[in-house]
Amino acid sequence: MDGNRRFAKQLGLKEGSGHVKGREKLEEMLDWCTELGVKILTVYAFSTENFKRDTKEVRELMHLFKKNFRKAAEDERVHDKGIRIQAIGDIDELPADVKEAISYAEEKTKEYEEYFFNIAVGYGGRQEIVQAIQKIAEEVKKGELDVQDINEQVFAERLYTSDFPDPDLILRTSGEERISNFLLWQSAYSELYFTDVYWPGFRKIDFLRAVRSYQDRKRRKGK
């Protein structure tokens, strides 16, 4: 969900306003996905690299995360539609109040299986891969896993997304044409779609164009 700050600058607003508008857009996106029957939505909300941003901006973002995880947990639409909320990433690196809000949202929605809403926060694709390797190495060291048994499935089961299939479509806003450390392992055969619209200005018609582009492609997966 790229372009919050540039969107705000374009309109002469403070950066924080861009993040608030981005959060509002995310609520719309969730509605669009459920309308179309898209069962799994994973959004890149905050990367490991984002911790290097200005301290004030990071603090404001953490406040938004705390507020919005709790808000989502109480949202009637989430419960009416059976949406399970889950955070993926290095959650231990987040402030205590944000971790509490995440736990609250996950606990309130843990029984739902109709739709899945994954929020990548404190997430980095390379970090995820390194941590998976560390888990496997530890299991081998303890004698719980034989080296010869390590394969793609074993590796994937150690990732944050172990409960989910690989993404069909990865969509990035703002005009940047790269995936920026997002789901590096999982995106091996994902279809990519880039649009030059900043995230807060992303419209339903833009989303439908991305879906139509995906539907028109032939997915061979190397075959």
Are 113 and 144 found together in one domain? no
pLDDT of residue 1: 96
Look at the chain and report how many structural domains it folds into: 3
pLDDT of residue 83: 98
| Active-site residue (options: 4, 31, 50, 75) | 50
Q: What is the pTM of this model?
A: 0.93
Which regions of the chain are under pLDDT 50?
Answer: none
Are 135 and 107 found together in one domain? no
Contacts 24+ apart (CB under 8 A), 12-16: 15/57, 16/57, 16/60
In a domain, 19, yes or no: no
Catalytic site includes residue 149: no
Are 171 and 152 found together in one domain? no
Are 146 and 169 found together in one domain? no
Question: What residues make up the domain containing 198?
Answer: 1-12+27-37+165-214
pLDDT of residue 220: 80
Are 148 and 176 found together in one domain? no
Are 63 and 117 found together in one domain? yes
In a domain, 22, yes or no: no
- DSSP 8-state secondary structure symbol assigned to residue 165: P
Are 117 and 44 found together in one domain? yes
Are 117 and 131 found together in one domain? no
Are 51 and 116 found together in one domain? yes
DSSP lists the bridge partners of residue 193 as: 171
Are 112 and 70 found together in one domain? yes
Catalytic site includes residue 118: no
pLDDT of residue 110: 98
Are 147 and 169 found together in one domain? no
pLDDT of residue 223: 73
In a domain, 130, yes or no: yes
In a domain, 196, yes or no: yes
pLDDT of residue 219: 83
In a domain, 223, yes or no: no
Q: Residue 74 is part of a domain; what is its CATH number?
A: 3.40.1180.10
Are 71 and 128 found together in one domain? no
pLDDT of residue 15: 84
